[in-house]
Amino acid sequence: GQQVMQIPQYQHVQEGEDFTTYCNSSTTLSNIQWYKQRPGGHPVFLIQLVKSGEVKKQKRLTFQFGEAKKNSSLHITATQTTDVGTYFCAGPGTNAGKSTFGDGTTLTVKP
Amino acid sequence: NAGVTQTPKFQVLKTGQSMTLQCAQDMNHNSMYWYRQDPGMGLRLIYYSASEGTTDKGEVPNGYNVSRLNKREFSLRLESAAPSQTSVYFCASSGDGQGYEQYFGPGTRLTVT
C-alpha cells in the first residue's frame, strides 16, 4: 500500500532554534495533511495541502507541498517550549476515506 | 458538541480477558476509525468504517473485532487479550472520501499483563 516516510524521527533543539520535518512518498499524493500530538495527548489536525507547490503559514509554522506532490515539509521558526510534541504527516490511503500516517517526528525543545 | 469521546480512559487486563472499547462522535460523520499507537511509534489502522453497517480491515486487524452500531458509535472488541495488545487506542472520525481531516478521541491506555 501507499506509504509516507518521515524524517527525522527525533529532533532536539534549543528554544529559539528553527525546526523542520520532512514527509516523502514514492507516489503522487492528491493531498497531504499534518497533525500534532502533544505528549500524552491525541493527534490534532493542523492543516491540509492540496495544490502543487502550495505554501501555507500558521504563525511560526510554514507548510509546503512539493511541486511533484510527492513530498512535504513543516518548518517551525524560533521554536518555543509549547511546540514540543510529535508531528505527523498523513497521505490519502489506497481506499477512499483511509489515510496513511507517517511515523512522526518527535520534537523536544530545551528552554 | 463533545467531538469524539472514548471510554474507558485507562484499562488493565489479564491475558485472555476480553473487553470492548467504546467510541462515539457527534459530528454526523460517516467515516470512523480505530488506531493503535505503541510507544514512540506512529498510528496503525486497525479497522475502518465508511458508513453504518460497513467495516473494513486496516493494517493490523488480527485479534480485534469491530461493530458499527449506528452512525454515532464504533466499538472495538478484544476477545482474548494478549500482552502484545498493550497500547494506546485512538478512535477517530472524518467526513466522507479523501481529503477530510480526522478528529481523534482522547484515547484509551490499555495494559495487558
Closest CA–CA distance from residue B78 to any residue of chain A (Å)? 21
Please report which confidence band the pLDDT of residue A2 belongs to, taking 50, 70 and 90 as the band edges.
low
Distance in angstroms (rounded) separating the CA atoms of residues A91 and B22: 27
Q: Does residue A50 belong to the interface with chain B, where contact is any CB pair within 8 Å?
A: yes
Which residues in A lie closer than 8 A to residue B104 (C-beta atoms)?
42-44
Which 3 state secondary structure label does DSSP give A28?
coil
Predicted confidence at residue B54, as pLDDT, reads 92
Reply yes or no on whether the pLDDT at A1 is more than 60. Answer: no
- Residue in B42, B50, B99 nearest the CB of A31: B99
pLDDT band at A43 (very low <50, low <70, confident <90, very high): very high
Residue with more model confidence, A95 or B80: B80
**How much is the pLDDT for A10?**
96
Mean pLDDT across chain A: 93
- pLDDT at position B98 is 58
Q: Confidence class of residue B3 from pLDDT cuts 50, 70 and 90?
A: very high
Chain B nearest-CA residue for A88: B42
User: Domain-by-domain residue ranges, chain A?
Assistant: 16-81
Q: What is the pLDDT of residues B49-98, one digit of tens each?
A: 989 989 999 989 999 999 998 999 999 999 999 999 999 999 999 987 65
Residue B2 pLDDT more than 60? Answer: yes
Q: What is the DSSP letter of B101?
A: P
Mean pLDDT of A32-59: 96
- Which helix (H) or strand (E) segment holds residue B109: the answer is strand B108-112
CA dist., res. B92 & res. B50, Å (int)? 12
DSSP class of residue B83 equals G
Please identify among residues 37-96 of chain B the ones whose CB lies closer than 8 Å to any CB of chain A: 40-43, 45, 48, 50, 56, 58-59, 90, 92, 94, 96
* Average per-residue pLDDT for chain B: 93
Rounded to whole angstroms, the Cα distance separating A83 from A88 reads: 13
Best CA proximity match to A99, nearest among A26, A8, A4: A4
**Domain spanning A16-81 has what CATH number?**
2.60.40.10
Q: How many percent of chain A have pLDDT more than 90?
A: 84
